[in-house]
Amino acid sequence: MEKIYKHQETEGKWYSFWEKKGFFRAKIDPKKEPFMIIMPPPNANGELHIGHALFVTLEDILIRFNRMLGRPTLWLPGADHAGIQTQVVYERLLEKQGKTRYDLGRDKFYSEVYDFTMKNKATMENQLSRLGASCDWSREKFTLDSEISKAVYHTFKKLFNEGLAYRGERLVNWCPRCTTALSDAEVAHKEKEATLWFIKYPLAEEKGKFIIVTTTRPETMLGDTAVAVNPTDRRYKNLIGCKAIVPLINREIPIIEDSVVDKKFGTGAVKVTPAHDPTDFEISERHDLKRVQVIGFDNRITDEGGKYAGLKVNEARRQILEDLKKESLLEKEVPHLHSVGRCERCNDVIEPLVSLQWFVKMPPLAKPAIEVVKEGKIKFIPKRYEKIYFQWMENLRDWCVSRQIWWGHQLPIWYCGSKGLSDLQMKLNNLPETPGCGEIIVSTEEPKQCPKCHNAKLVRDPDTFDTWFSSGQWPFTTLSWPEKTQDFQYFYPTSVMETGYEILFLWVSRMIMLGLYCTDKIPFRTVYLHGIVRDAKGQKMSKSKGNVINPLTIADQYGADAIRIALVFNSTPGNDLNLGEDKIRGMRNFTNKIWNIARFVIDFKPDFYDHKISTEKLKLEDKKILSELKKTKEKVTKSLENYRFSDAAQILYQFIWHQFADIYVEKSKDRREETQVILEEVLKVSMELLHPFMPYVTEEVWQRLPHEGKSIMVTPWPK
């Protein structure tokens, strides 16, 4: 054997060998219970990052382990179109060319983004292969594949027909940069140093007297329709039912009581702006308050804002504060730690706005999804996330599934003429007015005419589905549901959903809800949640910090096996993982150690030796290493069966490096011919046990040992 292990020469060779031999392809065997993982689809708008390398490694370990156990094993790969995020990425590329999506038009924009994602998808697939992902590429899917789209439309029509999908005017999270509504789960709340302003609202009936309200957003006062206090707050008992005057615009509004008001916040009196705050919107529903929208979808003050109309929000705030000071209505301002919602995709500040959107009712979907976890039909690893899951699911608001973007699944909704479209949709899409009765038609196929008035001039809703609506159906749409194919009947429900804890609400919860709703079955039996990969100091990786680890660059340098085992070592479910180059370098040293052990064992060519272990000739050290090998097999098997990846990796590391190499190999040097058969057996079994973690070096070594199989990856798991 060569003195130095060269991963550059082995990795491509063995991956190509495995793929050509068809080892990745899953075969249906009705006599056996299958093991199945649906790959969390990476976003097809860029290269893989270190977080992807973690899920690839963990899932590949499970797949290779179960394949060696003899189970029909399917790991189905795919990619996500990632609606908003991909559109943001591509629009930034257009911006560098001095263009916008409107310069291209919808069809050309969609076509260019599709080509862009296909190129990225091909790059990602190559990167997954480089990391050793033994997935079944013959079954690979993309969230915008035609059969996936048909299934997504089928689900929405079913929801609509059963009264679970509806169109309504509700307060939504609006991203001014992406010009679209977002769901609650797509808003990242971050605390920042802000200011709390105390503003005097004159009392209408008592000149010279005021009620002082506290707010973090003075610009929204232009849309106030009430002042609210807590009913138990004695300070304002006499003012309930009285009128206050909104400063600067002189609108009379009622002073009301509502238990949602926190007496300890500021003065205990708060302004109510139903069109721009979720809590205020709910107050308005209880008290039948008017909703005045003073911030537009373009992030400017509307005509309702009087003299401030047309100003950007921040400009309006500055001007309003100046005017309040001039009129001696600004009591004081104090520093305040404030939670600000930002778009998860572009990081712009979210503006709560009332908008006509499509929603899915969540309580009917959430109830059965809660029950299956409580009944143990779906298990979470770690278990503590079940409590977090329940808290989220029990407080769900209806899900806004429509997005005002062009990239994604366009809603399967048509209107009779443009009357059914909102003013916002007409404006964002430059649509002309078209005659019609406004009838709403939900259909999986394009209708020819209005069923009500028979008008043939139908207009399709220009909005697209929230990405999570389609990816929430990923476990069964990838298996060709709603068709009852062999794959669906055999592999569904899937075995494990392995993903990051940060998308428990965005994705996992929705897969459970939609899986139960569409198929009447759980989508998976186990949810394994991994943490975020951080740098060696525990800091989150970011380009600005310069601490990002590119998995492919590091794999080029140290080998895919080294980065895989480094990601697993000392990792625990649900906890973040620290990873630095030193750790990866250390695992490269482990790869070299394996190679050196193999050279010692394989390069020895005795004139004659027995290829079978004779128990009669065993000495104490022989019996000990074989006993330790047996214990290692049992411990590693049990650890993998219980998803304790790090435990299994550390057990193997300790056994191979210390018990086998440091002790037994050293002792065997004095009785080389006697121990050769034991050395070969221990090395062979060690490679088989280590294969799910380090597939390339183990295959290279195993192929040089005496064996009868074609590949280590399809040889039976050591018993």
Average pLDDT, integer, range 294-320: 95
Q: What is the pLDDT of residues 610-644, one digit of tens each?
A: 667 777 789 999 999 999 999 999 999 999 999 99
Least confident of 63-67, 126-130, 176-180, 511-515: 176-180
Give how far Cα 449 sits from Cα of 91, 161, 193, 444, 452, Å: 35, 19, 56, 14, 9
Question: Which pLDDT band holds residue 46 (cuts at 50, 70, 90)?
Answer: confident
Question: Which pLDDT band holds residue 429 (cuts at 50, 70, 90)?
Answer: very high
Measure the CA–CA gap between 387 and 384, rounded to whole angstroms.
Answer: 6
Residue 273 CA neighbour count, 13 Å, CB half: 25
Strands 78-79, 141-142: pairing kind: parallel
Give how far Cα 346 sits from Cα of 48, 88, 225, 341, Å: 19, 7, 32, 12
Percentage of the chain exceeding pLDDT 90: 88
pTM for this entry: 0.92
Is 671's pLDDT higher than 80? yes
Q: What is the pLDDT of residues 686-697, one digit of tens each?
A: 999 999 999 999
Is 301's pLDDT higher than 90? yes
Measure the CA–CA gap between 413 and 440, rounded to whole angstroms.
Answer: 7
User: In three state form, how does the secondary structure of 484-545 look?
Assistant: CCHHHHHHCCEEEEEEEHHHHHHHHHHHHHHHHHHHCCCCEEEEEEECCEECCCCCECCCCC
Percentage of the chain exceeding pLDDT 70: 99
Tokens 């006062």: give the residue.
Answer: 221
> What pLDDT is attached to residue 543?
64
Q: What is the pLDDT of residues 521-572, one digit of tens each?
A: 999 999 999 999 998 888 888 766 778 888 999 999 999 999 999 999 989 9
Average pLDDT, integer, range 580-595: 96
> What pLDDT is attached to residue 473?
98
Question: Which pLDDT band holds residue 609 (cuts at 50, 70, 90)?
Answer: low
Is 310's pLDDT higher than 70? yes
Is 241's pLDDT higher than 80? yes
Measure the CA–CA gap between 463 and 405, rounded to whole angstroms.
Answer: 6
One-letter identity of residue 308:
Y
Average pLDDT, integer, range 472-488: 96
For 271, residues 6+ apart whose C-beta sits below 8 A from its C-beta are 199, 201, 213, 215, 220, 221, 224, 226, 227, 228
Average pLDDT, integer, range 11-38: 97
As a residue count, the chain comes to: 719
All structural domains of the chain, each given as residue ranges with its CATH number in brackets, are 184-343 (3.90.740.10), 580-714 (1.10.730.10)
Q: Which residue has the higher pLDDT, 614 or 329?
A: 329
> What pLDDT is attached to residue 408?
97
Q: Which two tokens stand for residue 246?
A: 């909104």
> What pLDDT is attached to residue 547?
82
> What pLDDT is attached to residue 608?
67
Find residue 343's DSSP bridge partners.
187
One-letter identity of residue 426:
M
Mean pLDDT of the chain: 94
Average pLDDT, integer, range 299-318: 95
For 46, residues 6+ apart whose C-beta sits below 8 A from its C-beta are 89, 120
Give how far Cα 520 sits from Cα of 468, 701, 715, Å: 20, 47, 37
Q: What is the pLDDT of residues 5-14, one digit of tens each?
A: 999 999 999 9
> What pLDDT is attached to residue 610?
67
> What pLDDT is attached to residue 47?
85
For 389, residues 6+ apart whose C-beta sits below 8 A from its C-beta are 373, 380, 504, 508, 509
- Of these ranges, 132-141, 184-193, 704-713, the one predicted with the greatest mean pLDDT is 132-141
Q: What is the CA radius of gyration of the chain?
A: 31
Question: Which pLDDT band holds residue 338 (cuts at 50, 70, 90)?
Answer: confident
